[in-house]
Amino acid sequence: MDLNIQRKELLSPLGNEPHAFAKFVINAAQYPTSIIEEIAIGQTLGAWEEQFVKKSVLIEKVAKIVSYERTESSHVVTLAFPHNIWQGKLSWLLTILYGKMSFYENIQLNSVWFSKDCFAKNILQGPKWNANLLKEKVGADLSHPLLMGILKPNVAMADEQICSFYQEAAQAGLHILKDDEIRHDEAFSSTLKRVEQVANTAEKNGLKTLYAVHFQFCALNFREQIEQLQNAGAQALLINTWTSGIEFLQQLRNLTHLPILSHPALIGAFGIRESTSTIHPRVTLAQFIRAAGADLSLFPSPYGKLGLDKPLAVDIANSCQAKNENWEINPTIPVPSAGIKPEHAPEAKKDFGKDFVLNAGTGIFANHKGITSTIKLFREELDKQ
């Protein structure tokens, strides 16, 4: 490493405890290499002050520089953050990695990963469901992708209409039906009633399609609410991870075995381009939520009106499913969404393989051919060998 770092302790070996790793890409024309020391010390200790804290303690808690590369335009550095400063809480970790640094222009949080023992010691759990488990749950062929539908206009829809759509869509071959992320019930009792009615419809008609209800964060009694939802027959949960908070997802994973769908609302504010995003989308839409336990990650597809560049969308999907020695946990299932039509299915299979979920809203529920016919068109394309 060719670094002008004053505190050589930042280059000392890692301890034996679990670590989170983060890669930063920093504009080299704007910042000297000393910015790396500022991140490592400022984000973990606040300041290096041996008059207040023993040097041995500072060394134990400060981030360490794992690697450094100087490219034509950037400093690319990987730092290791010891578990003793984030205690397994991803909301704390996000603050440490990027809280203050988010006010610095042209410093990108590019990737996040974890040492193997973060999962072995149950510090982080990861997802409960993988693609094959979910396919078996809904009675689908393991060799084909799944199809999800978004209720539209969900916000204005009565429970009876939702049950009717659920039954028709399930009988036509839809695997998952979800609330829109903008559906918010004024009273939790309304959510419970809807879940119970859909569950009764499923049981009465022998339907395996999962209904993912939008679960809204309530700090006071959400443990009790989860139990009530499960008792009412809840099949899956949709949450707006980045407006509710990553801590909500992490705690929810500890409380339920139901499949959890993570919606990407707000993520666009961090940037949707590889080179200009402040937090790279692979961090928010794959790496962080996978560690927290999201079973499915919704993100804009490369095909619709909110489309990501295809290489970036594929990179997110690959990060959701990456296999290496540090990720001995279930993959998060990628869910390309937004603007999806039946004609997009063949391309999606080429781009994402077989272990993904294709997610359509108005492409199903506002199609002039009708719900049943449109779902069958989707399934014909998805089920082709």
Q: Tens of pLDDT along 201-224?
A: 999 999 999 999 999 877 668 899
**Which residue type occupies 3?**
L
Min mean pLDDT across 120-124, 230-234, 292-296 is at: 120-124
pLDDT of residue 312: 97
Q: Which residues pair with 298 in a beta bridge?
A: 335
Question: What average pLDDT score do residues 10-26 get?
Answer: 92
pLDDT of residue 1: 62
Which one is predicted more confidently, 243 or 323?
243
Examine the pLDDT at 155 and tell me if it is beyond 90. no
Examine the pLDDT at 4 and tell me if it is beyond 70. yes
The percentage of the chain sitting over the pLDDT mark of 90, rounded to a whole number, equals 80
CB count, 10 Å around CB of 61?
A: 15
CB 285 within 8 A of CB 299: yes
pLDDT of residue 379: 97
pTM reported for the whole predicted model: 0.95
Lay out the sheet containing 64-70: strands in order across: 64-70, 74-82, 19-27, 107-114
| Distance in angstroms (rounded) separating the CA atoms of residues 59 and 14 | 10
Q: Which residues pair with 359 in a beta bridge?
A: 148, 337
Domains of the chain: 8-120 (3.30.70.150), 131-382 (3.20.20.110)
Tokens of 54: 């023993």
Tokens of 315: 């990179």
**Residue 299: CA atoms inside 13 Å, Cβ hemisphere, count?**
31
Examine the pLDDT at 310 and tell me if it is beyond 80. yes
Question: What average pLDDT score do residues 29-53 get?
Answer: 93
**Which residue type occupies 23?**
K
Examine the pLDDT at 116 and tell me if it is beyond 90. no
| Distance in angstroms (rounded) separating the CA atoms of residues 175 and 161 | 18
| Distance in angstroms (rounded) separating the CA atoms of residues 168 and 209 | 11
CB 147 within 8 A of CB 58: no
Examine the pLDDT at 106 and tell me if it is beyond 70. yes
Count, residues in the chain:
385
Is the bond preceding residue 153 a cis peptide, omega within 30 degrees? yes
- Mean of per-residue pLDDT scores for the chain: 93
Min mean pLDDT across 122-126, 164-168, 259-263, 322-326 is at: 322-326
Question: What average pLDDT score do residues 126-148 get?
Answer: 97
pLDDT of residue 152: 87
| Distance in angstroms (rounded) separating the CA atoms of residues 51 and 273 | 44
pLDDT of residue 68: 95
What secondary structure letter does DSSP report for 306? T
Q: Tens of pLDDT along 314-351?
A: 999 999 999 865 567 899 999 999 999 999 999 999 99
The percentage of the chain sitting over the pLDDT mark of 70, rounded to a whole number, equals 98
Examine the pLDDT at 98 and tell me if it is beyond 80. yes
Q: Which residues pair with 22 in a beta bridge?
A: 79, 112
* pLDDT band of 3, cuts 50, 70, 90: confident
Min mean pLDDT across 187-196, 228-237, 366-375 is at: 366-375
Q: Are strands 19-27 and 74-82 parallel, antiparallel or unpaired?
A: antiparallel
Rounded to a whole number, what is the distance in angstroms from the first to the last CA of the chain?
50
pLDDT of residue 156: 79
Q: Are strands 19-27 and 107-114 parallel, antiparallel or unpaired?
A: antiparallel
